[in-house]
Structure 1
Amino acid sequence: MSYDKHILWACTAALLTGWVLTYDNGLCSGAVTRHSCNWTCMHLTLQWPGSFCIGINNKTICKIPQTVQNWTIHGLWPVRTGHCCDCWPIYHSHLQEIEPELTQLWPSLIKGKHFFYFWRDEWIKHGTCAGCEESMGSPLLYFQVAVKLRKLFDIDNILESSGIKTSCDVSYKHDDIRGVLTPLLGQNYDLQCVTDSEGREAWIQLKVHLFRNQTLGCPKQEQEQKFDRLSWFNSTGHPCPKNTTIFYVPINYENPHEPCN
């Protein structure tokens, strides 16, 4: 076994016991702080590429690849406060086994940002916390779980089969969308919107509430203590309003920040 593996195992063990170490030139340099692995809930956040660029202030950096045609993963986020770990590295080779699926289901929509750098950021910010759970205890396992959940919640087919289709002319009531999603998700989700230049509310994200064992739900107390504070912290947009209709806009590859103009 190589020295590097010893170091990685030490870092991983430190994380699982709650000690956060710094990673410096390939070495865990020491325990610098402590965080809790006692989070209960996580959010699988799916984003609609057709609306994504509406919420980006810098319109020049947004790009939707032609291969992206369905709902994509924004992230799988444990609901917790504080920082997790800087010493649990991720390398491109860790994800090569599932890279074709990640490219389709978890692409970067920012021009010039290699997909791996997006995945690396998500691992550092969120995956290292998720790694407290054995089923997500490595970069590969974490991303495999996200892909599995995305396939389980097949939003594209559910919407299509229920007659909710992308359009710049037809909008939907909040309750109409929830009526389609609730049989699959119960009440364990939130709809998130952005407002376009014409004042239309465009559906951008679906945030699914999960326990750490990847089943639907989240204790009410946990939601009250953490969800209200962090609900939109890592997201673009705002809760979709209930007093106006919602547009499910099409993907516009040529003009992604103004898909209906």
Structure 2
Amino acid sequence: MAPPVAEGALPAWVAVLGCGLTLCCLGGAGPLWSSSHEWRKLILTQHWPPTVCKEVDSCRDTLDYWTIHGLWKHEWEKHGTCAAQVDALNSEKKYFGKSLDLYKQLDLNSVLLKFGIKPSINYYQLADFKDALTRIYGVVPKIQCLLPEQGEDVQTIGQIELCFTKEGFHLRNCTEPGEQLPYKQEAWLAEGASTEGLMVCEDGPLFYPPPTKTQR
């Protein structure tokens, strides 16, 4: 479980790098509740900090649990426009509060540990993650990886997306068979699509890197 949040304070675990998005609309900028921003599902993206830090090469220490990547005013102003169509998300407080509620509800860290999936120098199979998440949540997630760098031979898991219905916030498959949602019909509960270097994982082995700690 994530660390408790002190009343009136932003928890440290929501800001791995001090950037990123929480509940952003893929429809672009525009006035709140604009009818031009139609969307059908919410996407909660959780990042694995060691991989994100590897991607941007700017971290010395990394967290050891999956986290929402960023909860700041910028995210609401730039990306909360579509979400504001829903009464439960029509204010900055509701917008971020619902992101935190769903994060805690999913409890991704505990789910993976329940199936013995924990950071390791050994490789897992992508199917290990898919099977565990599908068995617990009953829906198909989207799992994205950092492609191998020169001299490497395996992809590195970076983020996991779980999707919710627009009404009622019920879990749903991120992509239904044969479904290709237009760009403007998704709303995000954390950054995913714009994260450079991350792509949908290929079937096969993947690396789930342990957190790094600076020697003191």
* TM superposition score normalised by structure 2: 0.71
The CA distance in 2 between the partners of 1:52 and 1:219, in whole Å, is 24
Please tell me whether residue 225 in structure 1 is matched to residue 181 in structure 2: yes
Q: Which residue of 1 aligns with 2:75?
A: 122
1:193 corresponding residue in structure 2: 145
Aligned to 2:84: 131
Q: 1:15 aligns with which of 24, 32, 46?
A: 32
The separation in 2 between residues aligned to 1:54 and 1:223, in whole angstroms, is 33
Deviations along 1:83-131, one digit per CA (max 9) or x if unpaired, are xxxxxxxxxxxxxxxxxxxxxxx4xxxxxxxxxxx62232123222211
2:171 counterpart (194, 206, 216): 216
TM-score by length of 1: 0.59
- SS, match of residue 224 in structure 1: coil
Question: Which structure's residues are more often helix, by fraction?
Answer: 1
- 2:116 and 2:175 map into 1 onto residues whose CA distance is 32
Tell me, in whole angstroms, the C-alpha distance in 2 between the residues paired with 1:219 and 1:160: 25
Partner of 2:49: 49
Distance 1:205-1:219 versus aligned 2 partners, 3 A rule: closer
Are the structure 2 counterparts of residues 199 and 162 from structure 1 closer, same or farther at C-alpha, using a change threshold of 3 Å? Answer: same
User: 1:148 pairs with 95, 101, 110, which one?
Assistant: 101
Matches within 5 A, 1:16-35: 16=33, 18=34, 35=35
Q: 1:248 corresponds to which residue? A: 208
Q: Distance in 2 between matches of 1:221 and 1:166?
A: 31
Query: Greater CA radius of gyration, 1 or 2?
Result: 1
Aligned residue among 70, 93, 99 for 2:65:
70
* Conserved? CA contact 2:139–2:171, under 8 Å: no
1:219 to partner: Cα distance: 7.5
Tell me, what secondary structure is at the counterpart of 2:144?
strand
Q: For 1:190-227, what per-residue CA distance to the aligned partner results, in whole angstroms no more than 9, with x for missing partners?
A: 01000344232111100112111321126749941326
One-letter identity of the residue aligned with 2:82 = C
Q: Which residue of 2 aligns with 1:180?
A: 132
Alpha-carbon distance in 2 for matches of 1:125, 1:200: 35
Query: After TM superposition, what 4+ stretches of structure 1 lie above 6 angstroms from structure 2?
Result: none
Secondary structure of the 1:70 match is coil
What SS class does the counterpart of residue 145 from structure 1 fall into?
helix
CA distance in 1, matches of 2:193, 2:178: 16
Contact 1:172–1:245 (CA under 8 A) maintained in structure 2: yes
1:178–1:138: structure 2 CA closer, same or farther, 3 Å change rule?
same
Residue ranges of structure 2 left out of the alignment (5+ in a row):
1-30
- For 1:128 and 1:202, the matched residues in 2 are separated by 32
SS at match of 1:254: coil
- Structure 1 residues 219, 48: CA separation in 2 closer, same or farther (over 3 Å shift)? closer
Give the total of aligned pairs: 176
| 1:254 Cα deviation after fit | 3.2
Aligned Cα root-mean-square deviation (Å): 2.9
**In structure 1, the residue corresponding to 2:159 is in which secondary structure?**
strand
Q: Which has the higher contact order (CA 8 A, sep 6+)?
A: 2
